[in-house]
């Protein structure tokens, strides 16, 4: 099957499944929609393997996260009706009528297909037009980035964990939100250095493994503070970079990765449960982890429930916001750019916060009363800015951009020409986090991460650059 034929196949399958999702089923109205999105995901994996020659690429990672974060609760409602009573009071989409929820899931499904289709289309190659970096010591540069920025991050992280265990997640969250964003973003740049270090150690597998495992343990400790989403995005990106530099993945390693993934899933779920229960002791975490691991086998289902909360945000936009207000026509993206500037006077922070569509939903009482822990949604933000039709079109172009980014990141990893990764790694973190957040909350780390990396590259004595005419 040729690449063009494969893309056409995905389009046809998607059209058929979207039409099928509108079939009326008296017993369970969610079932046709759930079958549709599952078939589309499997078809996407199949076509992506043909078009991109590999399933291990950033596009697959992004689409998979969009799927589970937006349709996790749909899968519960469709396929696990007998177990709904275990999660009934915590399934947020059930705060709408079945008719409203099905309508929202169908619209999200169309946007999901649009994004996926965009990632499959051919992409132009990235070209280093001004400079050719022939002899950059990426290992040394990564260490330099870490040494310049990580002390700030670890100081912030230690104090945040301390507050979480002493006064609780809410107070720790409040302190972190009031902390100067510029300083926090500067510290987060260390994550770019760590990602580059993992890649730079590709020819030293034992050292690479030690660094990767150490980073995973560090992120696990940070999650104990209750901050999961950001650290899960880091973890996912690091895992992608690590696996992308491995020449061959053996069957036993796949089994090991699957087991580790299960434990990570359990751990993330426990962190969420402990945060809700306001548990502040190591013993409390340990007891809850044991109960999750060995107490009922519903970890995956509860994770679907937890991840699927993102779908609630998108549903609030589709069912509530667009029935009362016009689309903002890009306002959240334009105002979100203000987050780039240091919040010295407080004005930048106010603009960035007002740009958050999740904040607007809360401000205008578009969410369930008392449900304050609402996150963002990449699909919901599309609809908030451009309505349903415009959101679907915009989703396609975002998918096209992600496809370009994914293709060139993979080429950079395979070729060993890592300069593109100075741009790619900050975007990886932000894009993965964007799945359940908003544009204004991630743009700062992207811009400052890229700028600092460029400065370090161009000022490094060990970097040799050759200007191309």
Q: Where are the domains of the chain?
A: 131-308+400-467
Q: Tell me, what's the pLDDT at 465?
A: 44
For 80-137, the pLDDT digits (tens) are 777 666 655 456 666 788 888 889 999 999 999 999 999 998 765 555 544 455 467 7
pTM (2 d.p.)? 0.83
Q: Is 126 left (phi over 0), alpha (psi -120 to 50) or beta?
A: beta
Average pLDDT (26-46) is 89
363 vs 432, more confident: 432
Interacting residues of 233 by C-beta distance below 8 A, sequence separation 6+: 429, 432, 433
Whether the per-residue pLDDT at 289 is higher than 70: the answer is no
Q: For the segment 342-387, what is each residue's pLDDT rounded down to a tens digit?
A: 655 555 556 666 667 777 777 777 776 555 556 788 998 899 899 9
pLDDT (0 to 100) of residue 14: 92
Looking at residue 78, its pLDDT comes to: 85
Phi, psi of 211 (to 5 degrees): -65, -45
Note whether 403 and 123 are within 8 A (CB). yes
pLDDT attached to residue 352: 61
pLDDT band for 44, please (50, 70, 90 cuts): very high
Between 44 and 243, where is the model more confident?
A: 44
Higher pLDDT, 44 or 165: 44
**Mean predicted lDDT score pLDDT of the chain:** 77
Burial status of residue 104 (CB atoms within 10 A of its CB: 0-12, 13-18, 19 or more): buried
Per-residue pLDDT band at 15 (split at 50, 70, 90): very high
Can you read off the two tokens belonging to residue 367? 């969410």
Which whole number is the average pLDDT over 202-230?
Answer: 81
What angle, 0 to 180 degrees and rounded to 10, lies between the N-to-C axes of helices 229-244 and 190-200? 20
Lowest mean pLDDT of 285-289, 329-333, 374-378, 399-403, name the range. Answer: 285-289
Structure confidence at residue 169 as a pLDDT band (50, 70, 90)? low
The region of weakest confidence among 48-57, 220-229, 338-347 is 338-347
List 131's β-bridge partners, or say none: 467
Q: Which residue has the tokens 């013993």?
A: 283
Measured distance CA(193)–CA(450) in Å, rounded: 11
Q: How far apart (Å, rounded) are the C-alpha atoms in residues 34 and 32?
A: 6
Picking from 173, 159, 175, 362, the residue whose alpha carbon sits closest to that of residue 278 is 173
pLDDT at 105: 92
pLDDT of the residue at 351: 65
pLDDT at 41 over 90: yes
- Convert 117-164 into a string of H (helix), E (strand) and C (coil): HHHHCCCCCCCCCCEEECCCCHHHHHHHHHHHHHHHHHHHHHHHHHHH
More confident residue, 239 or 352: 239
Compute the half-sphere exposure of residue 186: CA atoms within 13 Å on the CB side of its CA.
14
At residue 109, the pLDDT reads 95
Classify 428 as helix, strand or coil.
helix
Q: Is the pLDDT of residue 146 over 80?
A: yes
pLDDT band at 246 (very low <50, low <70, confident <90, very high): confident
């Amino acid at each position: 099957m040729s690449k063009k034929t494969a893309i056409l196949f995905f389009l046809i399958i998607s059209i058929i499944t979207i039409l099928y999702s509108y079939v009326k089923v008296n017993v369970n109205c969610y079932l046709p929609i759930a079958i549709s999105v599952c078939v589309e995901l499997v078809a996407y994996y199949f076509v992506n393997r043909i078009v991109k020659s590999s399933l291990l690429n950033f596009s697959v990672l992004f689409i998979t996260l969009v799927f589970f974060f937006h349709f996790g609760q749909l899968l519960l409602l469709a396929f696990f009706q007998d177990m709904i009573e275990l999660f009934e009071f915590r399934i947020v989409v059930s705060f709408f009528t079945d008719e409203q929820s099905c309508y929202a899931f169908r619209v999200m499904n169309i946007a999901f297909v649009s994004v996926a289709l965009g990632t499959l289309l051919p992409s132009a190659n990235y070209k280093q037009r001004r400079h050719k970096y022939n002899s950059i010591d990426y290992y040394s540069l990564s260490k330099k980035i870490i040494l310049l920025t990580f002390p700030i991050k670890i100081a912030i992280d230690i104090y945040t964990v301390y507050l979480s265990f002493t006064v609780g997640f809410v107070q720790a969250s409040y302190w972190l939100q009031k902390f100067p964003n510029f300083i926090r973003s500067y510290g987060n740049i260390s994550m770019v250095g760590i990602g580059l270090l993992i890649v730079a150690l590709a020819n030293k597998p034992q050292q690479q493994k030690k660094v990767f495992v150490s980073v995973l343990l560090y992120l696990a400790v940070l999650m104990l503070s209750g901050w999961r989403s950001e650290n899960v995005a880091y973890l996912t990106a690091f895992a992608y970079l690590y696996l992308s530099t491995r020449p061959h993945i053996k069957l036993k390693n796949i089994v090991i990765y699957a087991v580790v993934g299960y434990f990570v899933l359990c751990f993330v779920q426990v962190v969420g449960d402990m945060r809700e229960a306001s548990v502040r002791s190591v013993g409390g975490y340990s007891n809850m982890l044991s109960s999750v691991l060995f107490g009922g086998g519903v970890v995956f289902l509860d994770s679907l429930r937890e991840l699927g909360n993102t779908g609630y945000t998108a549903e609030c936009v589709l069912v509530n916001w667009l029935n009362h207000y016009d689309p903002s026509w890009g306002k959240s993206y334009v105002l979100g750019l203000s987050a780039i500037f240091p919040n010295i006077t407080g004005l930048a922070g106010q603009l960035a916060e007002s740009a958050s569509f999740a904040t607007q939903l809360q401000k205008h009482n578009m969410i369930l009363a008392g449900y304050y822990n609402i996150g963002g949604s990449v699909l919901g933000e599309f609809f908030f800015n451009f309505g349903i039709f415009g959101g679907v079109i915009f989703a396609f172009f975002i998918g096209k951009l992600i496809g370009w980014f994914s293709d060139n990141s993979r080429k950079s990893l395979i070729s060993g020409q890592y300069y593109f990764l100075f741009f790619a790694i900050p975007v990886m973190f932000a894009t993965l986090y964007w799945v359940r957040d908003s544009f204004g909350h991630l743009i700062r780390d992207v811009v400052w991460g890229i700028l600092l990396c460029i400065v370090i590259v161009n000022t490094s004595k060990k970097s040799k650059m050759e200007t191309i005419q």
